[in-house]
Chain A
Amino acid sequence: MTGYRLRSGGVVDRTQPLRFAWDGTRYTGLAGDTLGSAMMANGIHTVARGFKYHRPRGIMTAGVEETGALVTLGRGARREPNAKAPAVELVEGLEAWGQNAWPSVRFDVGRINDVMGRFFAAGFYYKTFFGITGRGTGEWMLFERLIRAAAGMGRAADPADMRAGAGAGAGAGAGAGAGARTAGETWDLAHDHCDVLVVGAGPAGLAAAEAAAAGGADVLVIEQDFEPGGRLIGRADGVEGQPADTWIADRVAALHRAGARLLTRATAFGLYDANVVGVFQRAPDANGAGPSGTLRIVRPERVILATGGLERPIVCGGNDRPGVLLAGAAERYVARWGVTPGASCLVATADDAAYETAATLAAAGVAVTVADVRIGAGGPAREAAAAAGARIHDGMVPVRVAGRWTAHHAVQAVALGRVADTDPERPKAPDTPAPEAPASSARGGALAGTGIATAAIERWVEADCLALSGGWSPAIHLVCHRGVKPAFDPAQGAFRIAEDACPEGLALAGAADARADTADAVADGRHAGETAAARLAGRPAPRARPGVTAPTAARLYEVRWRDGKTKAFVDPQHDVTADDVRLAAREGYVSVEHMKRYTTLGMATDQGKTGGLVGLALLAEATGRSIPETGITTFRPPYTPVPIAAFAGRARGADWQPERLTPLHDVQAEAGAVFTDAGRWRRAWYHRRPGEGIETAYVREARTVRESVGMVDVSTLGKIDVMGPDAAEFLNRVYVNGFAKLPVGRCRYGVMLRDDGIVLDDGVSWRLAEDRFWMTTTTAEAAKVMHWLEYLIAWRWPELRVHVASSTDQWAGIAVAGPRARSALSRVVAAAAVDGEALPFMGIVETRATVAGGTVPVRIGRVSFSGELAYEVHVPAGWGAAVWQALATAVAAEGGAPYGTEALGALRIEKGHVTVAELDGRTTLADAGLGRMASTKKAFVGRALMAREGLLEESRPQLAHVVPIAATDAAPAGGEPGTQADAGLTTEAVRTRFGGGAILCDPTAPGGVGGRAGHGIGWITGVTESPSFGGWLGIGFVEGGPAAWEGREILVREPTVDGGKGRETRARVLSPHRLDPDGARMRA
């Protein structure tokens, strides 16, 4: 027999059926159901398979603490694995699937692992797969792949489906926000504020919220369930003289009237510094349209944690069978959903609260037997249960659970035994008195000692359901996120937060602070709410905190069968047994943190919410220590899993990193340019002609620059206006070379260092006026340089009268380069303005350019990156396209063409100019071949530390050209510029290519590697097909530089990704300054 829906009862709507599918079969639930209650109502008792042993598992709880019923929701891009069935709201059309089983959870071949169980004990990976054949790590690597394939729970959303969703999303939702729909989902991020945040809308939370709102506070209530009320929902007994459901409705109405907000389906998953609370709110319909969820960062003034309690199981043999669940959960299924977990139920308890379960189930027609470890305990609740028809066995504990072979080993009967407290083998905790027989007072009494009992089977009770209660632990996870250490309360048998340990602004209320009784919880909640409102108003707490009813639970964590061995699970989700914990202790994992990691206890998605404390108790017993001595593992966020996508929110794709387009983007795109990413920028990579690919196009473009003239978009250069009477002094301190005496109308190349003497960036600064400079930076470091200059002004030299402002986006920039550059430029601006006299090398001029329809202002500097006669033409961004078009016509008339970043790179590699690939944060001036730029006549940033010994060594890697042997032979060093290999690459040329990132080795060194650290003598930072030298050309760093290596043969190695030997190319090191070393061309 299995679970079924009762004819009446529960707060489900029997007139509103909801269809859902489980493993492809259609079922019907009711509005108000969870997936768990609907499955139970349909008699589905095996819903999952264990992690290691693949034993059948059923529903074990009624909430997020679920340890058994893990399922996968949805499919494709919206598949969500490891959902906890009792925490999933049932919605029309919900699809759920069994997981961690093949072919299905009803019949799973992985069950063989259960038979092999003794091989899968704690730490079995580490023991089993090391050293069988003595191959050590290599062997582990082999087995690890097999283990990985077999491990894991569920499958994440399918990446292929997510990509398909991306395409559809981009197509359907053009414009803002389209990028956020890439996985067919949106996730929102909200920043929220309130006076009082109440976590939990159970009896204590609702009372607290109502009281705080009545005291004038702006209140926000967070409830993880889709209904407020917590364990009161559907309960028959009254609260404060009202039926429970009326009481809940009245509180919610009062909150609404007071303007308080109540968020359901929302979990406070983390509590952070300054009491910031992370809240994740799920959308009502997991399969519906709209955002899937919202992440809220809430900044309350005060927080009340009314997070309730979590029931502990009693660990015993076979306690993972379908049909075993927590007593409080059994009650909730009957009271809230009108579903019983079975037709006959054994309630095994160490606590009074389970008598309410017994009474509720018995009243619903279930045959109930109670086994209470205590004698004569239970009070009025016991009398009510007995009156409802429950049979009660005192002093009895569950020893073994027997299952039936025909129904996935679901519960058939439970063996009961009597506690053998005088067992001489039982270790005694040093700080507790010797175990004594259970007290027989009317209220029961704590079972002193370890809480671990040994019993022989005395009788069997037939039942298809076993409800366990080992007492309740306060849910203290959130306050522990603040670093507060909980203290063990022997009276409760659980960890609590001492009142004076609670951080300022934070209070626990109700069952979260061991006030499990409903009346206690409500009174405590009201007090917490009143206190919060009073403190906000600057008043002291209005009254003392109400007292608490004495606890009733005996300490009972585990029952061991005296006469045999069975698997007894402490953490059913990770398949950790009680014996695993003891094995870990025997093997020396006596620290609770080590035991946790060795056995993986409490490391599954439920994070040990129910069994974690039991595991500690077992470790304490096994090591002869008390529970406080053993300690507790650290609780960390999140309380329940939060989708990573929710943290990303809408900040995905282009909504995360905006794409930057230059003012010249469209005009180049229309002319057929192909673009590439350069940081956040999109830059023209090459200007394709019919039949061309990148390999031929960039070589053609670079050759055009060398032979006639080319033009390239340089709008991405960082541009910073530096203004003020002390602007010259400022730059003089920033750059290693002098700027104080730079005349107005000239510009100068400069390099700046960090404090530690390493190169920060380089660029050209233009002196527009005595008190005004215009700095250009590299594209890559523009933001960093801006920040650096602002920092120097604000913090280091506040006395300097200088301001900086970014003007990168205000200007479009076009570099015109090549022997015909002046001729081309003269077609657009007055020839007199750019002739050699008006505009010498490193001169600047502000003039006007003639474009279609008139003239526009331009700022021209004679700056060369390519090594040719070259000009940078800067124009206000809005006129950029017009000037580009005018220049394109002029350049074409001179036989030239536009070029892209690939050709730009080729030209600068030939010239030996450095970029961010070389200035990578490790490079000194000398490394980059710029050592002589540093002024000896003035102080500048980085001057002191650039002279550290380690930075002065001649053996440091220094800039060099690296040329394959075949290419050197074809075009020896210093050969005629313009010597070119055929555009169609020969077989020989292909064989003698190497890529960026390749490692340079010394073939004469032992092992053929060499270098100061034995890792090689350098590396390649850039490569190109060289029109000027012919063949392949690399730039990079070689230890000792060309001075040590010029002309010598080295080996270029390109290791493969998987660690293989990779390609090797013989090469020679040459000076990087071979192209026009005197600068005659750029000064022409």
Chain B
Amino acid sequence: MMQIHCPFCGPRDQDEFVYVGNASVVYPPLDAPREVWCDAVFYHDNPRGWVHELWQHVHGCRSFLVIVRHTVTHEIASVRLAHPGEAAAMAATAPATDPAPDAAAAAPAAPTTAASATAEAAGEPPVRVEPAE
């Protein structure tokens, strides 16, 4: 059972969140051709290792979050607000000296070395992917 560090609400149980989708997908413009939309909607990678996912803190602040998660260990390397404007506002209002333990949540960080403790956890470190559009 995962614990997700919501940038607004702090560490919360997975039960408060819903998985929304693959955050690595780049959605095309609405008037893009059907084939391009087919790729975006139906043809996704299903990697073993680090993935970028979109979640919503649906029973909390309702923020959409980009979470870098390991599909084998469920380790979460980083959590950040999906809406760039919200993320910027959050960064601007956060006290610069605040040593909050989840300060790293604002930007994706490299996974901790703990992940590689088990053989199965070894994999690519998370790739930074910015949201589409």
The chain A residues found within 8 Å of chain B, CB to CB, are: 191, 272-274, 276, 297, 299, 482-484, 501, 503-505, 733, 755-756, 787, 790-791, 793-799, 939-941, 943-945, 947-948
Contact = CB atoms under 8 A, between A and B. Distances in A.
Contacts of B3: 274, 276, 299
B2 A274 contact: yes
Contact of A504 (B33, B64, B114): B114
Interface residues of B, number: 41
Interface string B103-133: 0000000000010011110000000000111
Contacts of B74: 273-274
Nearest to B115: A504
Interface of B: 1-3, 13, 18, 20, 27, 29-34, 36-38, 40-42, 54, 56, 58, 62-64, 73-75, 82-86, 114, 117-120, 131-133
B75 A795 contact: no
A941 B64 CA distance: 19
Contacts of B54: 791, 795
Q: Which 10 A-B pairs have the closest CB atoms?
A: A939-B30, A504-B117, A794-B64, A944-B37, A939-B31, A273-B74, A504-B114, A794-B83, A944-B34, A755-B41
Contacts of B117: 503-504
Contacts of A504: 114, 117-118
Contacts of B32: 944
24 contacts: A191-B13, A273-B74, A274-B75, A503-B117, A504-B114, A505-B114, A733-B30, A755-B37, A755-B41, A756-B42, A787-B18, A791-B54, A793-B83, A795-B132, A798-B83, A798-B85, A798-B133, A939-B30, A941-B30, A944-B34, A945-B34, A945-B37, A948-B34, A948-B38
Nearest to A297: B1
A863 to B, nearest CB: 28
Contacts of B27: 755, 796
A795 B82 contact: yes
Contacts of A276: 1, 3
Nearest to B118: A503
A997 B4 CA distance: 42
A755 B32 CA distance: 12
A294 B37 CA distance: 49
Given A503-B118, A795-B20, A798-B133, 7 more contacts: A273-B1, A504-B114, A505-B114, A787-B56, A794-B63, A794-B86, A796-B133
Nearest to B40: A755
B54 to A, nearest CB: 6
B95 to A, nearest CB: 25
A272 B37 CA distance: 38
A502 to B, nearest CB: 8
A272 B34 CA distance: 42
Contact of B73 (A273, A795, A941, A945): A273
A483 B86 CA distance: 39
A77 to B, nearest CB: 28
In the complex, which of the residues A274, A299, A501 has the most CB atoms of chain B within 10 Å of its own CB atom?
A: A274
A791 B66 CA distance: 12
Nearest to B112: A504
B83 to A, nearest CB: 4
In the complex, which of the residues B18, B38, B75, B117 has the most CB atoms of chain A within 10 Å of its own CB atom?
A: B117
B118 to A, nearest CB: 5
Nearest to A796: B27
B129 to A, nearest CB: 13
A795 B131 contact: yes
Contacts of B131: 795, 798
A868 to B, nearest CB: 37
Contacts of A756: 41-42
B53 to A, nearest CB: 12
Contacts of A795: 20, 54, 64, 82-83, 131-132
A832 B91 CA distance: 53
A939 B13 CA distance: 39
A947 B35 CA distance: 11
B35 to A, nearest CB: 9
B73 to A, nearest CB: 6
Contacts of B58: 787
Nearest to B120: A483
B41 A794 contact: no
Given A274-B2, A945-B38, A794 B82 contact: yes
B133 A945 contact: no
Given A756-B41, A794-B82, A947 B118 contact: no
